[in-house]
Amino acid sequence: MLDKKIVGIIVIVVVFVLWYFLLFTHFNGRIHKLSQDVERLKRIKNSDIPQLQSKIRREKRLLNSYASILPLKNEVPALLTNICLVVKNCDVNLFSFNPQKEEDKDMYVSVPVRLRTRSTFDNLSCVFSNFLNMRKIVDVKDFSLTNPELQEDGTVLIDGDFILMTYYLKEGR
């Protein structure tokens, strides 16, 4: 009977020691870490919250202004179609229209398109003027005029070669 009591006490002590080392110390460590997190959060000044909210509102306004001038990816084909219409409406012959490799930027992607044209200088300037008036950003770079040719009616035809930069806003921004 005494042996059973001693064995019972030893079992109780072993269970208590195991509980202490396996469960209590684990949860005590987590409690300590959470207490540190609570203290860190208490140190954040409540006055910082309105300042952060104001910054978020400013950034959203900036993003919305970008979104108004940068199309989404699915709007790019329509933008490229509009560019072709601008060229056609200005009576410019479009010999090639070659989209180049897209360039990934921070908030947007640039889509360069190489255009080769033939027309009068006035008609080509009409195209560039219309590009300036487009709702979305369209830039011209690497512009060159070559092969001037005097026509019988006195007009001069020139070849225009340039890269048109279009852009779209990255999704999820």
Tell which of 45, 68, 91 closes a domain.
68
Three-class secondary structure of residue 133 per DSSP = coil
β-sheet bridge partners, residue 111: 166
As a whole number of Å, the end-to-end CA separation of the chain is 76
Tell which of 51, 68, 85 closes a domain.
68
Tell which of 16, 33, 68 closes a domain.
68
Instruction: Give this prediction's pTM.
Output: 0.57
Q: What digits encode the pLDDT tens for the residues 104-156?
A: 887 788 889 899 999 999 999 998 888 877 776 778 888 898 999 988 998 89
Strands 138-150 and 108-120: unpaired
What's the pLDDT at 2?
66
Same structural domain, 21 and 102: no
* CB count in 10 Å sphere of residue 83: 22
Query: What distances in angstroms separate CA 153 from CA 120, 121, 158, one per listed residue?
Result: 12, 15, 15
Same structural domain, 129 and 64: no
β-sheet bridge partners, residue 41: none
Q: Is 60 exceeded by the pLDDT of residue 173?
A: no
DSSP 8-state symbol, 170 = P
Same structural domain, 117 and 80: yes
CATH number at residue 88: 3.30.70.60
Yes or no: say if 119 and 92 are a contact pair by the CB < 8 Å rule.
Answer: yes
Same structural domain, 54 and 16: yes
Same structural domain, 88 and 63: no
Same structural domain, 104 and 124: yes
What's the pLDDT at 19?
65
Q: Is 70 exceeded by the pLDDT of residue 44?
A: no
Burial 137-155 (b: 16+ CB within 10 A, else e): bbeeeeeeeeeeeeeeeee
Q: What domain range is 126 assigned to?
A: 71-169
Same structural domain, 162 and 96: yes
What's the pLDDT at 24?
67
Chain mean pLDDT for the chain: 80
Q: Is 60 exceeded by the pLDDT of residue 89?
A: yes
Residues 6+ apart with CB under 8 A from 119: 90, 91, 92, 93, 157, 158, 160
Same structural domain, 64 and 128: no
Instruction: Say how many domains are in the chain.
Output: 2
| Identity of the amino acid at 163 | I
Which residue would you say has higher pLDDT here, 99 or 42? 99
Same structural domain, 40 and 107: no
Closest by Cα among 80, 101, 84 to 93? 84
Same structural domain, 138 and 151: yes
Kindly indicate the confidence band of residue 23, based on its pLDDT and cuts at 50, 70 and 90: low
Same structural domain, 62 and 89: no
Same structural domain, 79 and 153: yes
Q: How large a percentage of the chain has pLDDT more than 90?
A: 12
